Amino acid sequence: MNRSIKIIGIIGAGTMGSALAQKFAQEGFTVILADRAIDFVEKGINNIKNSLQEGFDKKVFTQDQVNHTLKNITGTANIEDLSICDLVIEAIFEDFDAKIHLFKHLSKVVSDTCIIATNTSSFSVNELSEYVTNRERFIGLHFFYHAAKNRLLEIIPNLKTSPQVFDAAKRFAFLAGKDAIYCKDSYGFVVNRFFVPWLNEACRLLEENIGNIPTIDAVCMEKFGIGMGPFALMNATGVPIACHSQKTLEVYGELYKTSEKLIDQTEINQAWNLEGEILTDEKIRNEIADQMLGIEFLVCSQLLDEKICSATDINRGARIGLKWKAGPIELMNKYGEPETRRLIEKTAHKYNTLIPLSIGKAFWKQEFVTYEKSGRNAIITMSRPEDLNALNEDVMNQLLDKFGKANMDMEIEQIFLCGSGKAFVAGADIKFFVKNMKARSIENIERFTRFGQEVFELIDHSSKKVIAVLNGLALGGGLELALCADLILALPGASMSFPETGIGIYPGLGGTQRSTRRIGKALSKYLIHTGKMLSAKDAFEIGLVDQVISVEEMYGFMYGNLPLPSPTATILSDKWLAVKNFFEDHTLNELLTHQVHDTMISKEEADRICKTLSFKAPIALHFADKLIEDAKGCADELIYLPEIFKTQDALLGLTSIGQKVAYKGE
């Protein structure tokens, strides 16, 4: 059965439906936005126009992008017009009877191959599926506000959803620019299950006269690392929505009973009053923290007990969907098992609830690198989109484990390295470097880098054919990982660079050596010294990437029988030949002192390159230049690590990401 999704129907032109229509149209899908009256549809399309205009004013979109998006959207008040859709998503108001009436009608309108999805946040996907013809093609796709901007998507199969439909939903999430988490059908799914009781608990604190609204919000902002407290959040999203969502969770018992304060506030239909004094009494603040952390940890542990989802899904839901700096799993790891258990037991005792079994590090382990086998192919995906798949010790260990598994499997012939979300891998985890530099524990950085080099060497020298597929950002360590592959493929939107010299350091995972092997010393110097961001097209033109491919080709290579392209010899254009000659004809010192000879590139371009280098960290530049010139192998990059990470330039650069800094060469 063909599960290719190109035409999408959205039923419901309200806030959620119009945002979904906008997002899918932005990503190139043909979208039909439907509602029961054309007035509603026109209002939804106007909302899209206003949102796009706002994006244009902020220079998020070009006028061409705005025009292209609007061109992809048509509106209708006739549900029969959805008969041509490959996927239809229901996004109407949360009324069970209205939804089942819609699904009964829709089942008669669309083709047998059309996937039908619900965006419900309150009802059981399995129960709704009973009113759809061919339950195998029904699935829950729960998007988050604002759906055109928020990348999180919960994918919830019903008991009879077919594997083909589930796979199609996962691919659709990727194509639609969403970061998906997966869960069994359960009221509240993942995020609402732990987030709504957290809001409700804040109301209970108010009900019990434990602190006032400003204090509860302030403590929560501090403890959870968030920009808005629970009451401010309810005001932003709607107090009645929180109340309705909590009521649907009451099936889980006393712990989930809706606060009378929340019910009262909903009935008077007013926002919470956020004004007032923030209390400083430590006893009050500690009690607020205990109850808010306790409810969060208890509910998340119940989710793990019930095997609704993984620890990774819980944490990712909070990080991406709610924009929390640290998710519940990270917080439990931070507080440790004894303190987490104390908070859970205190909350469980208060609400006469069983203490979950899933407490402890064994249950809090997150999977950041996934492994999949498809015929003779192994597909290893860097899956930490909430942090742009940045490399840290956990990620590197998991990469070693997954690659080792593929490497040892006699049935595997090809190993694909991929990324999830917006990045392939956006470099190493900067926080790790800063933490150890401030603690004067440079040996930890050396140990991590040495281990990273060992992992990359294993990949580089594998007897299997290794293919890197760059889906998005490949920065620093991410580009170094890709350079270990035999074949580097890139999607059109991929981009890559070596930004290290701009943040006070140099590539340490083989970047100075493997780039030289691929594109030569001169172009490696251009990339590493300038930190130039290359598009997929630019990278192909200089031979850094073997081929730019479509998403369809990517899936064909990994899951189908599409033969891989063969690397071809790179013939540099005059533009790139000029850049190559420029870096061959000038030493680093000549460029830094602007002693430029006659050159193939224009004076303006030569001045631009010299000016760019003047903003880089000079010590890092000299180390990188020497490593490229000497070309003695990746291990040589370890020699200068202690020196570079002890410089003030490195500390300044790594703690000032995204800011303009003046390096002193110290």
Judge if the upstream peptide bond of residue 597 is cis by omega within 30 degrees of 0.
Answer: no
357 lies in the same domain as 381 = no
Model confidence over 401-438: pLDDT tens digits? 999 999 999 999 999 999 999 999 999 999 999 999 99
Of all residues in the chain, what percent carry a pLDDT higher than 90?
96
Judge whether residue 665 has pLDDT over 80: yes
Model confidence over 262-308: pLDDT tens digits? 999 999 999 999 999 999 999 999 999 999 999 999 999 999 999 99
Judge whether residue 35 has pLDDT over 90: yes
Catalytic residue list: 480, 500
177 lies in the same domain as 251 = no
Q: Report the pLDDT averaged over residues 502-516.
A: 98
Q: Output the pTM of the full model.
A: 0.94
61 within a domain of the structure (yes/no): yes
| Residue 3 pLDDT | 72
Q: What is the DSSP letter of 665?
A: -
Model confidence over 203-223: pLDDT tens digits? 999 999 999 999 999 999 999
Model confidence over 122-150: pLDDT tens digits? 899 999 999 999 999 999 999 999 999 99
- Using alpha carbons only, give the angle 23, 366, 153 rounded to the nearest 5 degrees: 15
Q: Report the pLDDT averaged over residues 624-640.
A: 97
Regarding predicted confidence, which is higher, 600 or 371? 371
Q: What are the beta bridge partners of residue 89?
A: 10, 117
Q: If you count them, how many residues does the chain have?
A: 666
Of 157, 182, 207, which residue is a domain's last?
182
Judge whether residue 658 has pLDDT over 90: no
Write phi, then psi, for 488 (nearest 5 degrees).
Answer: -115, 120
Residue 166: other Cβ atoms inside 10 A: 16
352 lies in the same domain as 474 = no
197 lies in the same domain as 262 = yes
Kindly state the tokens that stand for 193.
Answer: 């299950």
Kindly state the tokens that stand for 114.
Answer: 């059309």
Of 344, 363, 382, which residue is a domain's last?
363
Write phi, then psi, for 231 (nearest 5 degrees).
Answer: -70, -40
Q: What is the DSSP letter of 352?
A: T
Q: What is the DSSP letter of 428?
A: B
273 lies in the same domain as 215 = yes
97 lies in the same domain as 71 = yes
Domain CATH number, residue 210: 1.10.1040.50
251 lies in the same domain as 290 = yes
255 lies in the same domain as 400 = no
Domain CATH number, residue 386: 3.90.226.10
| Residue 62 pLDDT | 95
| Residue 2 pLDDT | 47
Compute the distance between CA of residue 238 and CA of residue 283 in angstroms, rounded to an integer: 31
- Using alpha carbons only, give the angle 385, 295, 265 rounded to the nearest 5 degrees: 100
- 123 CA to centre of own chain: 26
Separation in Å, CA 649 to CA 525, 617, 646, 665: 20, 6, 9, 6
CA-nearest of 95, 99, 133, 130 to 114 is 133
Instruction: Look at the chain and report how many structural domains it folds into.
Output: 3
Q: Report residue 346's pLDDT band, with 50, 70 and 90 as the boundaries.
A: very high
Of 346, 363, 380, which residue is a domain's last?
363
CA-nearest of 513, 505, 477 to 644 is 505
Kindly state the tokens that stand for 68.
Answer: 């292209």
Write phi, then psi, for 243 (nearest 5 degrees).
Answer: -65, -45
| 504: containing domain | 369-654
238 lies in the same domain as 354 = yes
Kindly state the tokens that stand for 301.
Answer: 């542990």
